[in-house]
Amino acid sequence: MTIERIALGTGYEISRLLKGGWHLAGGHGEVDRTRAIEDMAAFAESGITTFDCADHYTGVEELIGTFRLEYPELATQVQVQTKFVPDLDVLPTINRAYIASIVERSLKRLRVDQLDLVQFFWWDFSIPGAVDTALVLRDLMSEGKIARLAVTNFSVSQLAPMIDAGVPFVATQNQYSLIDRRPERALRDYARANGMQLLTYGQLAGGFFSESWLGRPEPITDFPNRSLIKYKLIIDDYGGWDAFQSLLRCLERIGKKYGVGIGEVAVRWVLDQDLVAGCIVGATSTRHLARNVQIFSFDLDASDMTSIAAEIGIEPRVEGDCYELENDREGRHGRIMRYNQNKV
């Protein structure tokens, strides 16, 4: 099975399915470092050569750096996309020296001379400094420390001042799924107008898009990991458990037509949306690697898209622009976030 690839900016190509690193940062069970590195090799060998990580994903940049050391030939085929996410507590005093030090730390951890792509995030836009920080990142790109820049979890109103200041972003990474279509509301058109593509996460809603949740009663408490806590809130905002179960039944019917599962259909739908360059799928192991590859074994036809549209409706159901709900630290979504992980 051939993994689809796409150009992201000039002279840079990624696999359209990206191996996410958040699940290796803790909160999803104990991480076996040796196994995690072996799994990276397996993903790269399968054609999923683009890895997504972040400076605040505890230990993940170092894991990828060790993979590069232990699998030097495979490492030459891999693209590593990290993030610059200064802690909330740092924002009032952030300066060029701090920004440069975090970038240098990522270079050292990943064992590279230049970062393929750095995705910038700013926790609180009531604190000034986001545009100046983006301009410093642009300077570091001019110095050769960073090859290209992107953003993650910005709404249009947050992103526009940086674009207006002349920061060249090639992509924006945002949550996007059948139950969370907020990028369709404003961001997608703005990105298109400014030469950016979409990188997405959350297509599987932390694992809720699977046969294991089909027909089950609504979970209320005792979620085994933070992903399920996060995405259950999205399911509630989408319309509730009954509406989600109806969508799962629809995806199951479509999947049976192609010999794939609910999750594969959910990811394929996002990949087929306008301006989406690639989907990030979190993976703690290779347990679902074969199923990941199957995403590229079929195409959704017009009848499939019509059936799905009948379930999800015309307009996005989750309110607001991208990450607007999560930016409210007192709200249901914001209260579960961790804001100061870079110091760990």
Q: Residue 126: its pLDDT value, please? A: 95
Nearest to 122 by CA among 82, 153, 164: 153
In a 13 Å sphere around the CA of 70, the CA atoms on its Cβ side amount to 15
Which residues on adjacent β-strands are paired with residue 252?
Answer: none
The reported pLDDT for the residue numbered 344 is 46
pLDDT at residue 56 tops 90? no
Predicted confidence at residue 26, as pLDDT, reads 63
Q: How many CB atoms within 10 Å of residue 193?
A: 9
| Location of structure tokens 């209260």 | 335
How far is it, in rounded angstroms, from Cα 78 to Cα 68?
Answer: 9
Backbone angles phi, psi at 76, to 5 degrees: -70, -15
The pLDDT tens digits of the residues spanning 133-154 come to: 999 999 999 999 999 999 999 9
Token pair of 198, please? 């979409």
CA angle 65, 116, 35 (to 5 degrees): 30
Task: Provide the pLDDT confidence category of residue 27 given band limits of 50, 70 and 90.
Answer: low
Q: Tell me the three state secondary structure of residue 14.
A: strand
Pairing of strands 5-7, 13-15: antiparallel
Task: Report percent pLDDT > 70 for the chain.
Answer: 97
SS3 content of the chain, % helix, strand, coil (to 5): 45, 15, 40
Query: What integer is the mean pLDDT of 173-182?
Result: 98
Identify which of 21, 40, 90 has the alpha carbon closest to the alpha carbon of residue 102: 90
Instruction: State yes or no: pLDDT of 243 exceeds 50.
Output: yes
- Is the domain defined by 12-336 classed in CATH 3.90.280.10? no
What is residue 33's predicted lDDT score, i.e. its pLDDT? 87
In whole angstroms, give the CA distance from residue 114 to residue 168.
Answer: 17
pTM for this predicted structure: 0.94
Distance CA 18, CA 281 (A): 6
Taking residues 194-211, what's their average pLDDT? 96
In the chain, what are the domain boundaries? 12-336
Q: What digits encode the pLDDT tens for the residues 280-336? A: 998 766 778 999 999 999 999 999 999 999 999 999 999 999 988 888 888 888 888
Read off the tokens for 184: 């369709």
Q: What is the pLDDT of residue 341?
A: 73
Per-residue pLDDT, 29: 57
DSSP E strands in the chain: the ranges are 5-7, 13-15, 17-20, 50-52, 79-84, 117-120, 149-152, 169-175, 197-201, 276-282
**What is the chain's mean pLDDT, rounded?**
93
Backbone dihedral angles phi then psi of residue 280, each to the nearest 5 degrees: -95, 125
Q: What is the rounded average pLDDT of the residues 87-114?
A: 96
Q: How confident is the model at residue 215 (pLDDT cuts 50, 70, 90)?
A: very high
Note whether 138 and 167 are within 8 A (CB). Answer: yes
